[in-house]
Amino acid sequence: MSSVRIRENTFKLCLKNFPKRPTYEEIHAFVHDKVGLKPTQVTRLQMNHSQNCVHIKCVDLKTAQDAVINHNDRHELVVDKKRI
């Protein structure tokens, strides 16, 4: 049996309503342009295909919490020229 790894300083970008998975480039652009996180603030972007989401690990808890507080349910991505 596998153990569950605790994710620290991480928030999740849910992709369950997307008609297709965005590319890594689209996710990076969204995190930088829309959420406003700089590359120095993000330590990992990890696609989780089984949960249909992206885990975004930040350098500290405050950065992750601020991103969620300021951006939760406020943005859409454009995939194949459709807003999602």
Tens digits of per-residue pLDDT, 21-31? 888 998 999 89
pLDDT (0 to 100) of residue 54: 94
Query: Domain for residue 26, yes or no?
Result: yes
Q: Which residue has the tokens 């459709």?
A: 82
Query: Domain for residue 1, yes or no?
Result: no
Q: How far is CA 64 from CA 17, 45, 78, in A?
A: 23, 13, 23
The answer to whether the beta carbons of residues 7 and 48 sit under 8 Å apart is no
Q: Is the pLDDT of residue 47 over 80?
A: yes
Helices (H), the chain: 24-29, 61-71
Give the count of domains, the chain.
1
Query: Domain for residue 65, yes or no?
Result: yes
Q: Can you give the residue range of the structural domain that contains 24?
A: 10-70
Query: Domain for residue 25, yes or no?
Result: yes
